[in-house]
Amino acid sequence: MNIKKSALIMTILLTSFTMADAVSYKKYNIILKKAVRMYHALPASNIKWEVIGRSNWKNRIYYKEFGSGEKLTLVIGGLHGDEPAATISAIKLAQYIRKNPSSITNRVVIIPCINPDGLIKGRRTNGRRVDINRNFPTENWSTEYRKKFNNPGKLPATEPETVIIANAIEKYKPDLIIQMHQPFNAIYPEKNTSAELAKVMSEISGLPVSDDIGYHTPGSLGSYGLGMDYKVQGITYEMCSIDYEPDYNKVTQSLIEAINYRD
Ligand SMILES: [Zn+2]
């Protein structure tokens, strides 16, 4: 291992240690419960959520399409169950659009919680302990992390949650996929994605743009989008630490900008 590589690994280890150390699980649990409550309240809300499929444990996975226009953005919340703001922010976006339908000039499909099993358990992985964001059928899919919290599954696309996203991409052919996450506090555009858009989202959200998440992500949704023949643009939207909630208004406004923005 060369010096550069070991320095990088040390940085990642130190960062994760510091972050894990600093998390208040008391505060996290309060936010998690709120996210679970909001997920369970979806069918009774004033938005007509539809069911796009079921999770491993047969929990409903909802979606809703808004707007009209040529371009379509797919917003996916809650890939990782231990990132509660990643579900809450997607629900808040839908609530805002329902109240302000003229705020969007293009189409958007929102899947607020793709991993309800993980959310209900408060863990990253799904009902079968697979990390959905490593289970996509990409060229770089790998069993490298099989026993860790990045378990990619026995084979690519073994998980119903992964298949639901792949089918949604096939059906809607989005121009842009935005996936909501925590806790890295940055906006990560894929290589093919408008730098201008990332900059605008950064200005509104207050989060810096970063081009490298700092570790290897085989089988991720971002890689899957890039591997499509029309190379869909992608943004990984990383919000604050899991024991904090972001300013949802800012998050919503930056997402609205992304839905409306096209170069
Ligand atoms: Zn995540």
pTM above 0.75, yes or no: yes
Tell how far the Cα of 3 is from the centroid of ligand 1, in angstroms.
29
- Delimit the domains of the chain by residue range: 24-260
> What does DSSP say about strands 186-189 and 72-76: parallel, antiparallel, or unpaired?
unpaired
Tell how far the Cα of 36 is from the centroid of ligand 1, in angstroms.
16
Is the separation of the CB atoms in 186 and 238 below 8 Å? yes
DSSP state of 206: -
Tell how far the Cα of 225 is from the centroid of ligand 1, in angstroms.
17
- Residue 183: asked if its preceding bond is cis (omega within 30°), the reply is yes
Tell how far the Cα of 83 is from the centroid of ligand 1, in angstroms.
6
Tell how far the Cα of 79 is from the centroid of ligand 1, in angstroms.
6
Is the separation of the CB atoms in 130 and 153 below 8 Å? yes
Listed residues: CB within 5 A of ion ligand 1: 80, 83, 181
What pLDDT is recorded for position 143? 85
Is the separation of the CB atoms in 118 and 181 below 8 Å? no
222-to-178, 212, 217 alpha-carbon distances in Å: 9, 12, 9
7: its two tokens: 């320095």
Tell how far the Cα of 183 is from the centroid of ligand 1, in angstroms.
8
> What does DSSP say about strands 233-238 and 186-189: parallel, antiparallel, or unpaired?
antiparallel
Full pLDDT tens readout for the chain, 263 residues: 455 555 555 555 555 555 556 899 999 999 999 999 999 999 999 999 999 999 999 999 999 999 999 999 999 999 999 999 999 999 999 999 999 999 999 999 999 999 999 999 999 999 999 999 999 999 989 887 666 788 999 999 999 999 999 999 999 999 999 999 999 999 999 999 999 999 999 999 999 999 877 778 889 999 999 888 888 999 999 999 999 999 999 999 999 999 999 76
CATH for 24-260 (3.40.50.620, 2.40.30.10, 3.40.630.10, 3.40.50.460): 3.40.630.10
Tell how far the Cα of 80 is from the centroid of ligand 1, in angstroms.
5
Cα–Cα nearest to 60, from 157, 182, 164, 150: 164
Cα–Cα distance measured from residue 252 to residue 164, given in angstroms and rounded to the nearest whole number: 24
156: its two tokens: 């690519």
What pLDDT is recorded for position 144? 77
What pLDDT is recorded for position 213? 74
